[in-house]
Structure 1
Amino acid sequence: MLRFASQNLIRTYSSRIGRYAATASGKLAQSRLSSIPTPKTLKKFLDEYIIGQDIGKKVLSVAVYNHYLRINDKQKKKELQKQRELIEQEKITSDKDEPIFSGNSESKAGWRNLQRQFNSAGREVDEDLELSKSNVLVVGPSGSGKTLLATTLAKILNVPIAITDCTQLTQAGYIGEDVEVCIERLLVNAEFDVARAEKGIIVLDEIDKLAKPAASIGTKDVSGEGVQQSLLKIIEGHKVELTVKRPVKHDIDGQKNQTTTKKDEIFVIDTSNILFMIMGAFVGLDKHIVKRIDDMKKLRKATKCVEPPDSKELEKERVKNFRFSNTLEQVELDNGKKVCALDLTTPTDLVSFGLIPELIGRVPIITALQPLQRDDLFHILKEPKNALLDQYEYIFKQFGVKLCVTQKALKKIAQFALREGTGARGLRGIMERLLLNVNYDCPGSDIAYVLVDETTVDSLQETEHSLASHVDVKYYPADQKDSLIRDVSEEDKKLGTTLSKELGYSARIHTPTIMKRSFIGEIND
């Protein structure tokens, strides 16, 4: 009787193992590498949103791919460990006289599939080999696309991302934010899903502002080297305990204002699988690199001389020839090719800039973004998804106005942004100044079309008060489509042809009635 009961217990347990085996084999299949976009796929996606920066996009695509490959590898090893435990349990509970499985065919098939996957995956995976974590440091001037690269990658990977400005971070005990705030923001963006947050991306922007200059040695360092020290364990990968106020109830008070009740909850986040992207403009780093390379060249020349040159004289000569500018320095290589100085950044340069060696050692991948040139800014205006020109055309479309901007005008805007030295971010500021009065005059009027040409941009540059400029923009009523197409075609034939097809008109020659700013008063009257 006792033997019969034990056999029934074994059958019941084996049936449960079989059902779990089917589930486990499915989970293992879901963690295959095919779920990670390849580096080429990642770069292709980045190309749709970001102009230029081919080297930076390749470096980040490979780094992100390898990072999530590492996460999947850890997940696969965990699943193999579970399968091993099941198989070991099967050996313990098996009976010599009774087969372990007397359940349904699904359980038996799941068990056989689990054993087959375990044997196959065990040959592919080296369980003693643990892949190291590779964080990324991105160096580049303001407006070159550092933050946009990170947010775009998070979009294609469908992982949460948190961007933290390092200038807000201080040491514990001082007024400001502790370094753990970046993990808290990631948890909130992951909707308090710990597992999802642990596979997210944290961007530490303006890391160069934490650099401690040599002149500050011996002074109180509230948001410099001390914060860098605090970041070490988080970046390397440790479990961090956070107390976060989590919304638990939404209500409406007596004055019909929405209120949110929050409750303190404790979360433990393992940062070992979080990808850290550290970014900064590192203003002046290019000049430091040029100095380092010049000193090396002079040292090589000095070795051929009988008497080495005086180091103080070399420093005086360098200061004498030193020129400050908004543009990044170029370095001429031995083969005669000129490259941006930031492309030659080494960990030693970053340590000399003021970052501690321990932090640099935890960020093995370093890439530099190029300063944007006029052609880059021109393409940024109209080519990427969510392009700036598309946004303004959509805004004007909302109040029934067709915005037309010629190619020459766009090139002038790009040249204007290049001269101001504000990168891609500066393009929006220029467009706002350019279309300020147009956006003010058009809504509620009879204006149907607006033309921004090269003369319009020139008038913006020549105005005395650029923040509230009165630019020379051409307005057209709805019955002057031919005049619009003709004027556009004189400066941009391609745009003129597109408008002609779109509006269903051909530019017939007649005296145009072009509404300037003076026409606005007549409309409003």
Structure 2
Amino acid sequence: MSTLTPREIVTELDKYIIGQEEAKKMVAVAMRNRWRRQQLDPELRDEIAPKNIIMMGPTGVGKTEIARRLARLANCPFLKVEATKFTEVGYVGRDVESMIRDLMEIAVNMVRKEETERVRDRAEKNAEERILDLLLPGSVPKSANNFFTLNAPDQEPPKPRDTETREKFRDMFRRGVLDEREIEIEVTSQGPQVGIMGMPGMEDVGMQMQDMMGKMFPGQKKPRKMRVRDAYETLVDEEADKLIDMDKVADQARERVEQGGIIFVDEVDKIAARQDRQGGADVSREGVQRDLLPIVEGCVVNTKHGMVKTDHILFIGAGAFHYSKPSDLIPELQGRFPLREELHALGKDEFYRILTEPKNALTVQYKALLETEGIAIDYTKEALEEISAMAQQVNEETENIGARRLYTLMEKILADLSFDAPERMGQSVSIDREYVRERLGDVVEDRDLSRFIL
């Protein structure tokens, strides 16, 4: 779990997200509280529940990006889901508990990747020995299961290794001389793929059935010819799998989910039932909230990796709340999201900063993309100011989609240059205000046209 202070967390978020200072501070404190909780005595630690958050604001202002960057900083399991994908039990849609199973899968893959890196040196050594045994057949007797098992007493003694020849082959292998040579290795083929049709809301039953069928019909070993360099990577993965204890991986993953997991529930406003209307779609929306409630409050969910407690998972809800408000959620659910922050709409000043300040700014991305074709582009300050002003104008006159409008404008501005790039290798192009107006002026001024194009 991250040991960054709240100020350090905000500083890291500032590298990618412009503005929204209060929201950044709120999530930074929430993340630091997770670290603080781990320093307490176990008896008190279990009593401290996470302070779940609702972020309100129009699309494209940074709600999802804040949560995503926060999860990377914390190095913890993170899942983004849309509340509209879920329905109450009995209706067509996903079961709410599936979000915990998905989060557990993410954690297992995360821990497994870390364990693979930890044992990679040993796996590479073992794979190298197997490659050399295949290149020099007969130097080591093979058994059915392992290339390196000792002979039983009734077997013939192993032939002595030709150490000098083996070391020569080892040197050639490490220098890549043997990369293109073909060898035959045994690879595990997948067992029969059996499709299990799960009932709506019971997807986990189908997954468990598929897992059980996979154990009943394991993959078979079959010979396959491969180039040495491809065979080496295959054998490294195989050896790493042998060295990893998957029970230990599952235990570590479960601990990470229970103590540090983050679930970002987007479009929470879409499941809020209006207080002045009862019936129809509002009944189903309220049903989703009631199914979501025990997950947020804390319960135990059955996954194929074991039982997972949700008591200390941090939930971050987000939504535009144009046609509803947080008070339209059922009171019990409101109480489980005590922290709320409104993110502000972005204007031309923020758009200019978005184009110039972040490490992954759009201007940096497009410049790097065109450099692959040998084209050097640079942007004048006036051009970026013009793009920012146009983004604000289009957002005001059509739908306000926040910073996502910049993607549309930048793509429109550079469309011709991107298309002609292979024929213009070696050129330098300056994107100035006139260049921007030439490609966007008519579209921005024609409101009807801008609704379709921008």
Q: TM-score range by the shorter chain?
A: 0.5 to 0.7
What's the counterpart of residue 422 of structure 2? 443
What's the counterpart of residue 44 of structure 1? 11
Q: Which of the pair has the greater relative contact order for Cα pairs under 8 Å at 6+ separation?
A: 2
What's the counterpart of residue 53 of structure 2? 136
Distance 1:423 1:365 in 2: 23
Distance 2:46 2:54 in 1: 25
Kept in 1, the 8 Å contact 2:20–2:343? The answer is yes
What's the counterpart of residue 271 of structure 2? 210
SS at match of 1:49: coil
**What is the deviation of 1:446?**
4.2
Paired residue for 2:369, among 371, 379, 395?
Answer: 395
Are 1:278 and 2:338 an aligned pair? Answer: no
Kept in 2, the 8 Å contact 1:400–1:448? The answer is yes
**What is the deviation of 1:132?**
3.1
AA of the residue aligned to 2:42 = K
SS at match of 1:170: coil
**What is the deviation of 1:71?**
4.0
Kept in 2, the 8 Å contact 1:460–1:466? The answer is no
Are 1:158 and 2:75 an aligned pair? Answer: yes
**What is the deviation of 1:223?**
4.2
Are 1:77 and 2:38 an aligned pair? Answer: no
What's the counterpart of residue 350 of structure 1? 326
TM-score, L = length of structure 1: 0.54
Q: 1:206 to 1:72 in 2, by over 3 A?
A: farther
Kept in 2, the 8 Å contact 1:67–1:134? The answer is no
Distance 1:468 1:227 in 2: 35
**What is the deviation of 1:220?**
5.3
Distance 1:210 1:463 in 2: 40
SS at match of 1:204: strand
Distance 2:425 2:9 in 1: 46
Q: 1:237 to 1:69 in 2, by over 3 A?
A: farther
**What is the deviation of 1:466?**
6.3
TM-score, L = length of structure 2: 0.62
Are 1:53 and 2:20 an aligned pair? Answer: yes
AA of the residue aligned to 2:377 = L
Distance 1:43 1:468 in 2: 37
Larger mean CA deviation between 212-221 and 181-190 belongs to 212-221
Kept in 2, the 8 Å contact 1:138–1:280? The answer is yes
Q: 1:129 to 1:201 in 2, by over 3 A?
A: closer
SS at match of 1:400: coil
Distance 2:402 2:274 in 1: 26
Number of equivalenced pairs = 299
Deviations 1:357-386 (A, max 9, x none): 111101111111111121111111121121
Q: 1:466 to 1:39 in 2, by over 3 A?
A: same
Deviations 1:404-449 (A, max 9, x none): 1111111111112112222111111111111111100112334511
What's the counterpart of residue 454 of structure 1? 433
Q: 1:367 to 1:266 in 2, by over 3 A?
A: same
SS at match of 2:378: strand
Distance 1:77 1:152 in 2: 29
Deviations 1:460-518 (A, max 9, x none): 3333566999xxxxxxxxxxxxxxxxxxxxxxxxxxxxxxxxxxxxxxxxxxxxxxxxx
Paired residue for 1:380, among 327, 350, 354?
Answer: 354
AA of the residue aligned to 2:290 = Q
SS at match of 1:131: coil
Paired residue for 1:229, among 287, 290, 313?
Answer: 290
AA of the residue aligned to 1:275 = L
The answer for unaligned runs of 5 or more in structure 1 is 1-30, 79-126, 243-264, 286-348, 470-525
AA of the residue aligned to 1:77 = P
The answer for unaligned runs of 5 or more in structure 2 is 110-249, 444-448
Distance 2:320 2:268 in 1: 8
**What is the deviation of 1:234?**
0.7
Kept in 2, the 8 Å contact 1:174–1:222? The answer is no
Larger Rg: 1
Distance 2:84 2:45 in 1: 41
Percentage of matched positions with identical amino acids: 37
Alignment of 1:172-191 (within 5 A): 172-190=89-107, 191=109
Paired residue for 1:240, among 269, 279, 301?
Answer: 301
Q: 1:187 to 1:129 in 2, by over 3 A?
A: closer
Kept in 2, the 8 Å contact 1:170–1:222? The answer is no
SS at match of 1:268: strand
Deviations 1:45-81 (A, max 9, x none): 11111111111111111122113322443xx427xxx
RMSD, matched Cα: 2.3
SS at match of 1:189: helix
Distance 1:63 1:232 in 2: 20
Kept in 1, the 8 Å contact 2:4–2:32? The answer is yes
Distance 1:458 1:222 in 2: 50
SS at match of 1:273: coil
SS at match of 1:279: strand
Alignment of 1:497-508 (within 5 A): none
Distance 2:46 2:94 in 1: 37
SS at match of 1:225: helix
Q: 1:468 to 1:368 in 2, by over 3 A?
A: closer
Are 1:194 and 2:173 an aligned pair? Answer: no
AA of the residue aligned to 2:12 = F
